[in-house]
Structure 1
Amino acid sequence: MSSFSRLSVRQWSLAGLAFCVLMMAVALGLEHIGGLEPCPLCIFQRVAVICAGVVFAIAAIHNPASRAGAATYGLLGLAAAVGGIGIAWRHLWLQSLPADEVPSCGPGLDYMMDILPWRDVVATVLSGSGECAEIDFALLGISLPGWTLVGFVVLAAAPLGMLARLR
């Protein structure tokens, strides 16, 4: 039995929660210290991180002994990570478009949240806008959505570890 499969649901949850805190600390640091304004897709990626963090926090507090509890938290955490992967992937796709194919900039997220139903806000943000296609920062040739995608893939290890315990 590998050492990873011996970790408890609480240990996997705490590791996932710590990584969520790290991801949010980097995002907020880049915003408030680095001066980078998040686009709507960046905000949706933050929401996915926060959702995963909430799942991991509840799982760590609960520390379910049952297989059903571990499976539930594992699947919920995995859903949040996979949702984040999808949003980051979409963001990278928008950034890869030629300049003439980039959608025009739309209204701000705050304005959309005030006037549109939630479902329409999500559809509008996921369809993308010009501001989401801009690359404001890159590290080692990888843009922020690329690093966020890497972060979500690493984050998925925690719920996958919970689910691997069930075997």
Structure 2
Amino acid sequence: MPSKAPVLVLAGSLALLAGAFGFEHVGGLVPCEMCWWQRWALMATAFFAADALALGMVARRQPAMGAAVAATAWVAILGLASNAGIALYHAGVEQKWWQGLTRCTAPPVAGDARAMMADILAQPLVRCDAIPWQMFGISMAGWNFVISFLLVGAATWLMLKPPKTFR
């Protein structure tokens, strides 16, 4: 029964989300569009990892559910791998390795035309090709890739390693 991999994927995706939202709400860094793509992938990953854990509890009473647990755990790992791919793409755009989006983003606005124009002009311009924060020369998107890649590797290893048998 694969139970450690979903726990690792769930904890990792929630930690990455907490870091992203922390940088936004505590650090004041407004996310760009590609940052949101990564967050959506992490939210989906967390959902499927939590689902795999819930199915794992059911499978303890109904062993026939074991295949559903494993399949859902693999979907969660695939979600984390997707996040790693998006993060790598974003980091490459930041480093000017390849072309990114041709538009920038700002938070949504609403109201009449005059109020909307005032809101638009007051919003911060968030560029996907700018690095708002980095550590050791690696941007947040780069760290997201590194951490996600390592988590995917560890979760895959946990899923593929043979179960312990006691004699």
Count matched residues. Answer: 140
2:12·2:151 contact (CA, 8 Å) conserved in 1?
A: yes
2:103 aligned partner, one-letter code: C
More helix by percentage: 1
Match of 1:16 among 9, 18, 34: 9
For 1:75, the equivalent position in structure 2 comes to 74
Residue 50 of structure 1 pairs with residue 43 of structure 2:
yes
Q: Which residues in structure 2 correspond to 1:103-142 (within 5 Å)?
A: 104-108=102-106, 110=108, 131-142=127-138
2:48·2:76 contact (CA, 8 Å) conserved in 1?
A: yes
Distance 1:134 1:62, change over 3 A: same
Match of 1:27 among 20, 33, 57: 20
For 1:155, the equivalent position in structure 2 comes to 151
2:129 aligned partner, one-letter code: A
2:32·2:105 contact (CA, 8 Å) conserved in 1?
A: no
Instruction: Tell me the percent identity.
Output: 24
The runs of at least 4 consecutive aligned structure 1 residues that moved more than 3 Å come to 64-67, 101-111
For 2:95, the equivalent position in structure 1 comes to 96
2:13·2:42 contact (CA, 8 Å) conserved in 1?
A: yes
1:137·1:144 contact (CA, 8 Å) conserved in 2?
A: yes
**Structure 2: where are the runs of 5+ without partners?**
110-125
- In the TM superposition, residue 69 of structure 1 has moved relative to its aligned partner by 2.1
Distance 2:142 2:105 in 1: 24
1:49 aligned partner, one-letter code: L
Distance 1:91 1:61 in 2: 33
Which secondary structure does the structure 2 equivalent of 1:133 belong to?
coil
For 1:39, the equivalent position in structure 2 comes to 32
Which secondary structure does the structure 1 equivalent of 2:127 belong to?
helix
For normalisation by structure 1, the TM-score amounts to: 0.71
1:55·1:76 contact (CA, 8 Å) conserved in 2?
A: yes
Distance 2:100 2:46 in 1: 32
- In the TM superposition, residue 67 of structure 1 has moved relative to its aligned partner by 5.0
2:29 aligned partner, one-letter code: L
Cα RMSD for the two superposed structures: 2.6
Q: Give the greater-gyration-radius structure (CA).
A: 2
For 2:117, the equivalent position in structure 1 comes to none
For normalisation by structure 2, the TM-score amounts to: 0.71
2:2·2:159 contact (CA, 8 Å) conserved in 1?
A: no
- In the TM superposition, residue 89 of structure 1 has moved relative to its aligned partner by 1.3
2:77·2:156 contact (CA, 8 Å) conserved in 1?
A: yes
